[in-house]
Structure 1
């Protein structure tokens, strides 16, 4: 068991929470302020989620290699979610976010970057949550 992972998740969660707060201060400077508001919320909520993941980390009944993969999957998913949402606010994309991107259109290249980013976030977060739910079942492999 690596107790440092729990601490790292909590620290990274607080860092992402801080990034989310800072995003809230500057959101009106983005091409799409509504999407920047979404990035602010992603940072705050995903930061809180990482802190909670750190708090339950040592309760997971999964192998150490799977814990490490899940840890990095969580970190990737939460930080990239905030970053891609912020990038979408900056670029004015809307293909993957038609509600918050309404009235904005990015170039095809920008839309594709944001699409790949959001798809990768979705896949990594679903993987991470499936492993966490499985790990909280109470039995070791």
Structure 2
């Protein structure tokens, strides 16, 4: 029963992130058509796509929870380690699109860019690598 609840919550988080991504597509359209001018308009599109793909990732993990070799605690940990970066990637990229910074590298004299870079590394990149690896590993043969 607890596994079904975890699966449902993870799928729900993915569905909501996908829905938020669709709404973020409106922001992307406004920015790309220059109704609102921002320094890096493609970041709005990136935020839109990050939410869509992140939502699908969460739904895929939810769909495969029963196939994992992990117990209940391991599955719960995996759910957290994929949910946080999926939502964080959308939010931080949306924030970067508003601030007009990429956050892809640390730069001198640009604290907003450096803050976004630190957030991306700590909330998105490292947890995503851990989550994707743990998911793939967990789909291996059950012991």
TM-score, normalised to structure 2, is: 0.84
The answer to whether the 8 A contact 1:84-1:118 is kept is yes
Q: How does 1:13-24 map to 2 (within 5 A)?
A: 13-24=14-25
Unpaired segments of 5 or more residues in structure 2?
Answer: none
- Report Cα offsets for 1:50-81 as digits up to 9, x if no partner: 11111001111113222222111111010000
| Larger CA deviation: 37-46 vs 1-10 | 1-10
| Distance of 1:59 and 1:2 partners within structure 2 | 11
| Distance of 1:64 and 1:119 partners within structure 2 | 28
1:75 is aligned to 2:76: no
Residue equivalent to 2:3: 2
Task: Give the deviation of 1:24 after TM superposition.
Answer: 0.7
Deviating above 4 A after TM superposition, structure 1's stretches of 4 or more consecutive aligned residues are: none
| Distance of 1:30 and 1:43 partners within structure 2 | 22
Cα 1:9–1:95 change in 2 (3 A) is closer
| Distance of 1:70 and 1:48 partners within structure 2 | 15
Unpaired segments of 5 or more residues in structure 1?
Answer: 98-104
The answer to whether the 8 A contact 1:30-1:89 is kept is no
| Distance of 1:128 and 1:36 partners within structure 2 | 25
Kindly tell me the number of residue pairs found equivalent between the two proteins.
132
| Distance of 1:30 and 1:126 partners within structure 2 | 34
SS in 1 for 2:114: helix
TM-score, normalised to structure 1, is: 0.85
| Larger CA deviation: 29-38 vs 116-125 | 29-38
Residue equivalent to 1:35: 43
Residue equivalent to 1:124: 127
| Distance of 1:62 and 1:82 partners within structure 2 | 28
